[in-house]
Amino acid sequence: MTGPLNEPLIELTGLTKTLRGQKEPRPILTGVDLTVHAGDSVAILGRSGSGKSTLLSLMGLFDRPDGGRYLLHGRDITRLPERKAAALRSAEFGFVFQRFFLLKHLTAAQNVAMALVNGQGWLPRRRRKAKVMAALEKVGIANLAKHRPPRLSGGEQQRVAIARALVREPRVLLADEPTGALDTETGNLVVSTLYEATAQGCGLILVTHDWDHARRMDRVLRLTNGRLAEVDGAESERTQEFPAGVGS
């Protein structure tokens, strides 16, 4: 997918999502506007239940909005049918979650290689190996390529998961509370690893409850009442974030 040089990577305009199937329809996103350029990093803060994961699932094409518009490199993908969405998802997006979702019986390298098998069919062995090692090197754990997840720390496992997300060279990296299961120091390392991916032009959206992690991104936004708003430093000092399940 190509477009004019300065065209935003992502452009969301007035995105809405209402949960139905309950007694009363419940609006979760009421008009999300967001522009992300290649190489941009954006943190999204917000109370538990404010709709951060809902927004990421729309951005990652796991779900569709009710209204508004979603452009990816100028292409309107608001209402993409699932088959095309799945193809775009594996070609353009990388995902990192709070849980690492690694396969225990495979080595770190094999876990990363799985992303290539699923997305691109079998590459010749040499090329596959080179890509996997490059991805592991990018996240600083090439030396652990042959280790299986049970022998890795939480931070190392998350870095394997990041390598798995990066190995297909996505244009957009969506990270949903990737440090939620890690201590502060390890979390910092993981955030640095994600941020470094933007140096290669990847756009990064980081959902987090941690202000210290958020402020390391180029921009910090808060999801409140179904919309995104810029956060300034002073506000953040006054506002406390709440962990999942608290304060919704």
Ligand X SMILES: Nc1ncnc2c1ncn2[C@@H]1O[C@H](COP(=O)(O)OP(=O)(O)OP(=O)(O)O)[C@@H](O)[C@H]1O
- Distance in Å, CB of 208 to ligand X, minimum: 9
Q: Does 229 bind ligand X (CB under 6 A)?
A: no
Give dist(CA 218, CA 53) in Å, integer. 20
| Closest CB to ligand X among residues 48, 120 | 48
Q: Does 51 bind ligand X (CB under 6 A)?
A: yes
What residues are paired with 76 via a beta bridge? 71
| Closest CB to ligand X among residues 28, 108 | 28
- Distance in Å, CB of 52 to ligand X, minimum: 4
Q: Contact 139/193 with Cβ under 8 angstroms?
A: yes
- Distance in Å, CB of 172 to ligand X, minimum: 18
Q: Does 46 bind ligand X (CB under 6 A)?
A: yes
Q: Does 28 bind ligand X (CB under 6 A)?
A: yes
Q: Does 48 bind ligand X (CB under 6 A)?
A: yes
| Closest CB to ligand X among residues 28, 166 | 28
| Number of Cα atoms under 13 Å in the Cβ half of residue 64 | 12
Residue 177: both structure tokens together = 């509370």
Q: Does 244 bind ligand X (CB under 6 A)?
A: yes
Region binding ligand X by CB under 6 A among candidate stretches 49-57, 69-77, 80-88, 111-119: 49-57
- Distance in Å, CB of 70 to ligand X, minimum: 17
- Distance in Å, CB of 244 to ligand X, minimum: 4
Q: Does 19 bind ligand X (CB under 6 A)?
A: yes
| Closest CB to ligand X among residues 8, 178 | 178
- Distance in Å, CB of 44 to ligand X, minimum: 9
Region binding ligand X by CB under 6 A among candidate stretches 48-56, 106-114, 130-138, 160-168: 48-56
DSSP for the chain reads ----TT--SEEEEEEEEEE-SSSS-EEEEEEEEEEE-TT-EEEEE--TTSSHHHHHHHHTTSS--SEEEEEETTEE-TT--HHHHHHHHHHHEEEEESS----TTS-HHHHHHHHHHHHH-PPPHHHHHHHHHHHHHHTT-GGGTT--GGGS-HHHHHHHHHHHHHTT--SEEEEESTTTTS-HHHHHHHHHHHHHHGGGT-EEEEE-S-HHHHTTSSEEEEEETTEEEE--HHHHHHPPP--TTS--
Q: Does 94 bind ligand X (CB under 6 A)?
A: no
- Distance in Å, CB of 5 to ligand X, minimum: 34
Size of interface with ligand X, in residues (CB under 6 A): 11
Interface ranges with ligand X (CB under 6 A): 19, 28, 46, 48-54, 244
